[in-house]
Amino acid sequence: MLQIDKVQTVEGVTVYGDDEDFNVFYLIPEQPRYRHYADGSLAFRFTRYRYPVDRPGGRKGGGFVLFDVEFVVDEAKMPKIRDQLAAQVAAEARRRGISPVPDLSFGTPTYTRGATQLIVAGSDGTFVEHLHNPGKPSLYGTNIATFGLELTENGVDFFEQTMQGSGGSVAVVYDLWLWARLPAIRVDAHFHASTFYSFYQTIDTDWNLWSEDSYRETVREQMISSESMTLNFDWGGVTDEKIRGPIRDWATKALEQAVERKMIKAVAPVPDDQRKLPDGIEDVTRDISHIQISNVDIYYREAQTVEWNIAPQGQLQNITSLKDAAGNPIKWSDYSTVIDLDSKFFRELRVDAFVNADFKNLPIHSVEVQVQYRGRPMPNLAPDEPEGEVVLKSPDDIGKFATYVEDDDWNYTYSYQINYRGESRVYKSAQIPTNEGNLTIGVDDVGILNVEVSAGDINFDEVDRALVTFKYADDGVDPIEDQFQLTKDGPTHQIQRVILQPVRKEYTYSVRYFMKGGKEVQGDVQSGRSPHLFINDVFGGRKTVGVRGVGDFANRINTVFVNLRYVDDKNDYVQVRSQALSAATTFFDWTFPVISETAGQVKYSAVVSYKDGTSEEIPETVALSDTILLPPPVEAFLEVSIVTDLLDWTRLKLVRASLSYHDADHNISAAKDFIFSPSKSAGATWKVELKNKDRDQYAYAVTYFTTEGTQKTVRNDATDDRTLILDFEG
C-alpha cells in the first residue's frame, strides 16, 4: 500500500513508495490532460451549429464542446522515471543483500472517493449556457472525467479562438481520496462542543368586569454556544516538514468531517404551545433551560491505514499545441465541426399574401388571390379555407400558405382578381411567377389610377392660380386627361379612374402659373408615378454654376473680373452676378432659382488684369457646362531650353540671348533677355502660354561679348526649335 512519507518527485511526477515492497511505486501525475485514444487521437470535439432562420429573441445558433480528461503520467516521461526508480531498487537490494534484484513494479492507488471541477470563462451565461459535469471521476484506471459545455453565440467564437495557440483556456481540479499508510507517528484529535439555551417568560393579566381587560407579557431568551478543537501529534522519527504538513492537513480535515457527521442539531426555541397562557391561570412565570454537549475523539497510530487526500489541478493544454502519435502537430480542423441545421427535407416555402391599398377610399370591394406551387394549389394555413385561395377585404387581411420545398425549387405562381364597388367589370391578372415570401398586391396592381394632387410650396402671395394639365396613356386604356386649377382656397384635387389593369406607365403633367401681376409662366412637362403629386412653386428648381480660376495667380494674373448672366427668354427671366477672382479667392459657386431646369442659358464675360499692368477682355460667351474656367484654359505652351554647354568662357566675357513671341490675333506679346557669364553659366528655360497651339514660332537674337572687346550677334526671326544651343564661332 502507498506509504505517505515515502515520497519523492521524479521528472515532475510525485512518486510514493510501498509500505512493504521496496520495488513497488505509485505514480501521481502532476496535472490532468485531455484523454488520448489508443491511436493517439484526442477525446475532444468542438461543434458549431446554426439554425436555418432566426429564432425568437434573435438566437442564431450556438456550440457544444465535449471532451474527456484523464489523470495519467505522460508516456514521454516514463523511460527516465523507470531508469531512476530501477536504480533505486537496485541500490536498496544491494543494501539488503537481496539477489537477484526484484523487477521494478508500479502499483495503482485505491481511490475511495473523488470529485472534479471545471473552471471556464463566462460560466455565468456569457459564454457557457450550461456546464455538464459528472461531479466525480471514474475512480479507476486513469480517472477519466467527461465534461460538456453548451456555448452561446459569443461563447462559440471565444472558445474557438482561445482553445487554439499556446497556453490553455480550460482548467480542471481533481479532489481525490485514496487508501494510504501512515508513517510511524501518533495522532490524537479531540472536539468538544457545548450549547446552553435558557428561556424565561412572565405573563400578568388584569381581569375587570366592567372595564377593558389588560395583560403584560415579558419574554427573555438566551442561547450560548462554545466549541473547541485540539490536535496532538507525536511525530516519532518524522522530521521533514514537507511530510508533516500534508499529514497535519489530513488530520484536521478528518476531524472536521467526523464532527460534521455528528453535528449537534440546532437548538430549537421553546415551542409556541408552551408559551401560551394556560387556561384559567391569570399570572404565570415560566423558566426553561437546556444544555447539549457533544464530543468527538480520533486516535491514529503508526502503520494505520487512512484516507489520504490529493488535489491535482491545472490548465488543459490547447490541442493545437499537442502532437499526434506520429509526432505531427494536431490540427484544429480535425476536431472542429460546423453544422447547418437547415435540413433540405424539412424546408418550407411560406407565403403571406396581403393587399397594400386603401380599401376605404378606393372603389375596391375585395381581392381574390390564388397561389400555386408546381401546378398544385398551395396548402392554406387557415382552417376550413380552400387550398391555394384567399379573399382579402381590407389591408389588414392576410392569407397564409405553406408547402414543403421540392428539388430546392422556391418558385411559385399566383394570380389575383379585383372586384370593384359599383362596377360589374373585374380585373383578372395573368399567372405571375415569383419566389417572394411576402406576396404584396400593391396599389398599382389593383387596376385603379389614383393620384392625389396638392399644392406644395406655391407662394400664393405672388401666384394667383396654377393650371395643371394631367395625362395618362397606356396600351389597352382609353387616354385619360384632366385639367384643373389649384388656388389658395382650393389647393387639392383627386384623380381616380378604374383602368382594369395595373398602373404600368408614368403619368405626365405640366403647370401654367398665372401671376398676380398678370404675367404667365409655363412650366415644363414632367412625369411621375407617386400616388401623391405635389405642385411646387413657379421656380421649379435651382441651378448651380461653378467658376474656377485656372491661371497663374501667384506670378502672372492679378485679378479676373467675372460677369455672369442667366437668361430664360421663354419666361422673360434674368439673373445676374459679378465677382472677382484673385490669389485669395480662386473659385466661387453661383446658385439661383430657375423656372425650368432645361430652359435658359448661362453667359459669362471677363476682364483679366495681369501683374505686368496689361489686361485682356473675354467677350460674352455661352457656358457649355455648369463649370466655367477663367481665364480660358491654355491650349499649349511654347517652352524653349537654352543650352550653354558649348560656350568657351576663356574667350567670352558675356552672352545675351533675347527671345520674343508675338500673336496679334490673341493680343499676346512676350519677350525676355537671358544673360550668361563665367560666374552664371547654367542654361535656362523660357515658357510662354499659347492661345493658338499651331502658332508656335518665336524669334531670337544672341550677342556674344569676347574677352578681346569685340561682339557678335546671331539672329533668327522665325523658328520653332525647342532647344536653343549657344555656340560662339569667332
pLDDT tens column, 424-466: 889 999 999 999 999 999 877 888 999 999 999 888 988 899 9
Eight-state DSSP code of residue 71: -
Distance CA 641, CA 647 (A): 15
pLDDT, residue 43, reads: 92
Q: What share of the chain is helix, strand, coil (3-state, %, to 5)?
A: 10, 50, 35
Among 199, 201, 202, 205, which residue's Cα sits nearest to residue 281? 205
**Helix or strand holding residue 256 (H, E):** helix 241-261
Contact at 8 Å (CB) between 187 and 298? yes
φ, ψ of residue 458 in degrees (nearest 5)? -65, 130
Q: What is the dihedral of CA 87, 93, 96, 99, to 10 degrees?
A: -150
pLDDT tens column, 491-505: 999 999 999 898 989
pLDDT, residue 53, reads: 57
Distance CA 579, CA 612 (A): 22
Q: What is the dihedral of CA 47, 52, 57, 58, to 10 degrees?
A: 80
Contact at 8 Å (CB) between 315 and 165? no
CATH number belonging to the domain at 541-630, selected among 2.60.40, 2.40.240, 2.20.200, 3.90.190? 2.60.40
Q: How far is CA 422 from CA 83, 419, 425, in A?
A: 106, 9, 9
Q: How far is CA 242 from CA 4, 182, 627, 699, in A?
A: 11, 14, 92, 109
Could you say which residues of the chain have pLDDT below 50?
55, 196, 208-212, 224, 264-267
pLDDT, residue 289, reads: 52
* 718 three-state secondary structure: strand
pLDDT, residue 286, reads: 57
Which grid coordinates are listed for 45? 470535439
Contact at 8 Å (CB) between 497 and 480? yes
Name the β-bridge partners of 307: 179
- Regarding pTM above 0.75, the answer is no
Average pLDDT for the chain? 85
CATH topology of domain 448-533: Immunoglobulin-like (2.60.40)
pLDDT, residue 292, reads: 54
The amino acid occupying position 471 is K
Provide CB contacts within 8 A for 328, sequence distance 6+: none
Which grid coordinates are listed for 673? 533677355
